[in-house]
Amino acid sequence: MHISEGVLSAPVLVTGVALTAAGVAVGLKKMDYEKIPQVAVLTSAFFVASLIRMPVGPSAVHLVLNGLLGLVLGWAAFPAILVGVALQGLIFQFGGLTTLGVNTFIMAMPAILCYYLFGRGIAHKHSGMAMALAFACGFFAILLSSLVLAICLIFTGESFLQAAKVLVLAHLPVMVLEGVVVAFCLAFLMKVKPELLGATHATG
């Protein structure tokens, strides 16, 4: 899901920085600082999930868990994903400094949409419906991230059109896998820490 340096045009990079800066500002404003340990744990999960990856053209295919971060953290997912992406770039050279804004937005914006689309429903539904919504959340988060990634490439140049199509198709198995992972994570949280799923929406 990370776009390598030297691929995107300057306008796309600048737009990514601006949108990410706005998202992080809102996330920091809405964050409950007593829950920083919770944010740190989920940032670590995001960081680890992206380590198993398969390069595809100018990007790569891997688990993201951005849907899960959105469900649990709400707007705090933006700074959490920024930190994770920055560490991945510094330690493993995934993406890079110039693409930090775009890469963060690609994964964080769908997390926020999942927060609004699925969070309240999951927090107030019985377990069967909640599991179905959790699967849809994981699937949708990767679908939207891959589409945003494709749009970034297409806006850079029409020569990337074919690569954009391939990247979206390559993420189809990841969408299903991510949905399953998010559903299992939700089932675990509902048993051991159900208040995590409702607290964010009570304050967000």
- What are the tens digits of pLDDT across the range 106-151? 999 999 999 999 987 776 667 788 889 999 999 999 999 999 999 9
- What are the tens digits of pLDDT across the range 39-82? 999 999 888 887 777 766 666 678 899 999 999 999 999 999 99
User: What does the angle CA 57 – CA 58 – CA 64 come to, to the nearest 5 degrees?
Assistant: 95
State the pTM of this model: 0.88
> Do the Cβ atoms of 43 and 84 come closer than 8 Å?
yes
> Do the Cβ atoms of 2 and 59 come closer than 8 Å?
yes
| Cα separation values, 87 from 45, 47, 142, 171, Å | 13, 8, 21, 23
> Cα-flanking dihedrals φ and ψ of residue 194, to 5°?
-65, -25
Fold for 10-203, please state it: Arp2/3 complex 21 kDa subunit ARPC3 (1.10.1760)
